Amino acid sequence: MDAPPQDPAHAYHEVAAKIARAAKACGRDPGEVTLVAVSKQQPWEAIEPVLAAGQRVFGENRVQEAMQRWEDRREGLTLHLIGPLQSNKAREAVAFFDVVESLDREKLARALAEEIQKQGKAPRLYVQVNTGEEPQKAGVIPGEADAFIALCRTSFGLQPEGLMCIPPAEEPPGPHFALLGKIAARNGLAGLSMGMSGDFETAIRFGATSVRVGSAVFGARG
Ligand SMILES: *Cc1c(COP(=O)(O)O)cnc(C)c1O
């Protein structure tokens, strides 16, 4: 049997309502939680209705793909880079994105700082933490997070706004969200980018200030 036809605008409103409900349920203002709609690998037919429904914040995991998709309709949008960034793409990333969530190593911090200086504009920055210490995953490990945040600030003049994590797929995410919150708090960082389609309500309970939701809004990726 075929899957029922997807209606992204409907799914988008559902996700937005779930975010509001999850926030209220733990005594938070729903306005404190930003929905980053992850449009990577989605066909335009899935994205267009969500844009038409009023969504303005989108997440992409590849620089080139994001530029192809959004370059001609960039106006009024807030675009987040949520995928790994090679330092040789720092120029494009600084020029194109409003937020870069994958700052995780010294070489990249240096490249971003140089581009910010050159271009006279700075994306908002999140340090990615590999809370599960998974070898295949990007992010600074928790034991090195404090030192890396300090390095970003003192050596490169970068002012990260928060932390981002992607918990291991096969573990309950709560402890990872709690750990990210703890690292953020002791480093004076207010932003917590955590929670995806399967766990954004949990993430909100643990203090997420932005959730990155793809398939629950747009449907399964192609
Ligand atoms: C793809 C992706 C998401 C969205 O995942 P869904 O499960 O489709 O919601 C969120 N965060 C990152 C870093 C991603 O790469």
Per-block average pLDDT, block size 10, for the chain (222 residues)? 68 98 98 98 97 98 98 97 98 98 98 98 98 98 98 98 98 98 98 98 98 97 84
Q: Which atom of ligand 1 is nearest to the CA of 36?
A: 10
Specify the pLDDT at position 2.
Answer: 43
What's at 83, amino acid-wise? G
Q: Which two tokens stand for residue 163?
A: 């932390």
Q: Which atom of ligand 1 is nearest to the CA of 197?
A: 9
Q: In the 8-state DSSP scheme, what is residue 86?
A: -
C-beta separation of 6 from 46 below 8 A: yes
H/E stretch holding 25 reads: helix 8-25
Between CA 193 and CA 208 the distance in angstroms is 6
3-class SS of residue 60: strand
DSSP labels for 120-159? Answer: T---EEEEEB-TT--TTS-SB-HHHHHHHHHHHHHTT---
Q: Which atom of ligand 1 is nearest to the CA of 196?
A: 9
Specify the pLDDT at position 129.
Answer: 99
Ligand 1 contact via 41 beta carbon (within 6 Å): no
Ligand 1 contact via 83 beta carbon (within 6 Å): yes
Ligand 1: distance of its center to the CA of 92 in Å?
22
Residue minimizing CA distance to atom 12 of ligand 1: 82
H/E stretch holding 164 reads: strand 162-164
Pocket perturbation via mutation, ligand 1, pick of 18, 34, 38 by most ligand atoms within 8 A of CB: 38
pTM above 0.85?
A: yes
Pocket perturbation via mutation, ligand 1, pick of 36, 40, 42, 82 by most ligand atoms within 8 A of CB: 82
Closest-CA residue to 16 (of 165, 163, 216): 216
